Every structure is written in structure tokens, then in C-alpha cells.
Amino acid sequence: MNEQSWQTEQFERHRPHLQAVAYRMLGSVSEAEDAVQEAWLRLNRSDADGLANIGGWLTTVVGRVCLDMLRARRSRREDYAGSWLPEPIVTIDPDADPEQEALLADSVGLALLVVLETLTPAERLAFVLHDMFDVPFDELAPIVGRTPAATRQLASRARRRVRGLAPPPDPDIARQREVVDAFLAAARAGDFEALVAVLDPDVVFRVDSGGAGPLAREPITGAAAVAQAVLVRGVRFAPLARPAIVNGAAGLVVGTGSKLRAVVGVNVVAGRIAAIDLITDVRKLSGLLRQEARR
């Protein structure tokens, strides 16, 4: 095997791991693919023979690339109206293509990704690479330009924020589905009391319409306010909703085929809905639209 073939074989072996790192860093499948592709280009320009741990090297390269992308993205986000939500990973039926299933199995919940978006780029990198992928602090420190001790503090601050704002969802997806089905039935019936009953008192409702348009509003909080918003905005769309798995949790898609209108991520905690994330941005639905078109 020549050097180029060996590099290609090694890179492809690590690609799923690199994609998982980049998605957690960026919350976007397409941007994650760009970051992984940049790592491939840098590998081609490097002396691979001198790399004792090519997997570790690629992981740190992807981390650096994502850090730069996050910093650039922050400067562009100032005029984004409404909520910015991650690009969802969705399965609608059990016969979805294997690549999509693999992405879904390795995805993380939308609620966690939303909280990760509130971290500074350096905090996010320290938390994702250390807490999720066990990269040592002495390897992370040069990436963020800090000492290992300071990098440990970055991860600690991020960890406290994540624990405070992203409680873990109920582990039983069948139970999650029961709660989401009850929510959908109440929305279809226009039943305010039934909606309130299934919502956590502090539920938050976020909408990402691409940073513009009439849906681009600040998050709504509280069971009564969210139930009212669902009844005002969502009753006419509720009949079009159908079950889906959204980032590994029970959720919904609204519409079919080329008329797919939205993906709804739902975070069920202690038997009630703690967060509803409505994504209508066509750019973030493009992968799912292509998947639907192939049917």
C-alpha cells in the first residue's frame, strides 16, 4: 500500500468519529462535513509518517477548524432574528438509508446542542473534546491558547452550564413517544387544558425560521403561554404532523415530500415536555427534503 492509499484508508476509518466531533462542535451536519473535509486536506499536506497517533491528530485538527468556524459564525449571528437551532438529524421510518441511521445513532439531543451554542467557542471545544471524547487537557490547551489548568477551568464552567440548562431527557423513547402523541392530540383538538397538562411549567418554545420572517421571535416560556402559542400558530399544521425520531428522541415532522414544512424536536423530562424546538429554516431541512424526495 502506497502512502496516499494508506492515508485514505486511515482517514476513512476515523471519518465517523471526526464527523461526530464536528457535529457536536457546530450543530450542523453540512458544516461538520466541511470541517472534516478540511482535516482531510491538511492531512494530505502533512508528513503522515511522522504522526504517532493519526486519530488523535485528526481530532485536534477538526477541533481547531471548528473553533475557527464558531468564532466566525458568532460575528455573523448578531442580526439573526428569533432562535438559532441546530440542523436536525431525523429518521421518519425504519427503512431510512444506513448513512442517515448511523448519523442518528451518534447524534445528541437538540436541547443539549442549544445549550452548547450558549458557550464561548473555547468553552465548547473544551467541553466537547474532553467530556464527550476524553481528549486530555494538555492536548486541548494549545488549541485554545491556554494552560492545561486554565483549559480545565473552561471545561468546568461549560459543564456547570450544561448541567443547569440541559437536564437529561427521559431515557425510555416509548414513554417519550406517549408524551409527544398526547401533545399532538391536544394540539389537533385545540384543547388548551390538555396541552398545559403535558407541558412542564417552565417549558420553553423556540422557533428557527432562518433568522427572518414572521416566525422569527424570541423564545416563549411557561406552560400557559406555550399552549396558547401552539393553539394560535399550530392548529392548522397539526393535522400534517407525523411521528419521527429527531436527534435520537421522539419528535415530529410537519408535511411530506417536497412540501415538508418543519421538524419539531421535543425534550421530555420527568414525563412532561420541557422544550419544543421548531425548525422551519429550509436550509436546515434540505437533507431531509432530499431523503423524502428519494422515496
User: What contacts 274, CB < 8 A, 6 or more positions away?
Assistant: 111, 167, 200, 202, 203, 204, 267, 268
Is 60 exceeded by the pLDDT of residue 54? yes
Q: Does residue 225 sit in the same domain as residue 269?
A: yes
Residues 271, 145 share a domain: no
Q: What confidence tens digit (pLDDT) does each residue in 260-271 have?
A: 899 999 999 999
Whole-angstrom distance, CA of residue 291 vs CA of residue 97: 8
Same-domain check for residues 107 and 231: no
Q: Which three cell numbers stand for residue 210?
A: 432562518
Q: How confident is the model at residue 178 (pLDDT cuts 50, 70, 90)?
A: very high
User: Is the residue at 248 inside a domain?
Assistant: yes
Could you tell me the CATH number of the domain that includes residue 22?
1.20.140
Q: Report the C-alpha gap between 274 and 259 in whole angstroms.
A: 28
What confidence score (pLDDT) does residue 153 get? 97
Beta strands in 197-285 (DSSP E): 199-208, 220-221, 241-246, 249-254, 262-269, 272-279
Instruction: Return the CA Rg of the chain.
Output: 20
Task: State the total domains in the chain.
Answer: 2
What are the pLDDT digits (tens) for 92-122? Answer: 765 555 555 556 656 789 999 999 999 999 9
The alpha-helical segments, DSSP class H, found in the chain are: 3-26, 29-44, 54-76, 98-105, 110-116, 121-126, 137-144, 148-165, 173-189, 192-198, 223-229, 282-293
Quick one: pLDDT at residue 81? Answer: 82
pLDDT at 287 over 80: no
Report if residue 148 sits inside a domain: yes
CA 59 to chain centre: 19
Rounded mean pLDDT, 142-147: 95
Q: How confident is the model at residue 293 (pLDDT cuts 50, 70, 90)?
A: very low
Residue-level pLDDT at 195: 97
- pLDDT confidence of residue 101: 55
Q: Whole-number mean pLDDT of the chain?
A: 88
* Domain that includes residue 156, residue range: 3-80+98-165
CATH assignment at residue 215: 3.10.450.50
Side-chain-facing half-sphere of 152: CA atoms under 13 Å: 6
19-33 per-position pLDDT tens digit: 999 999 999 999 999
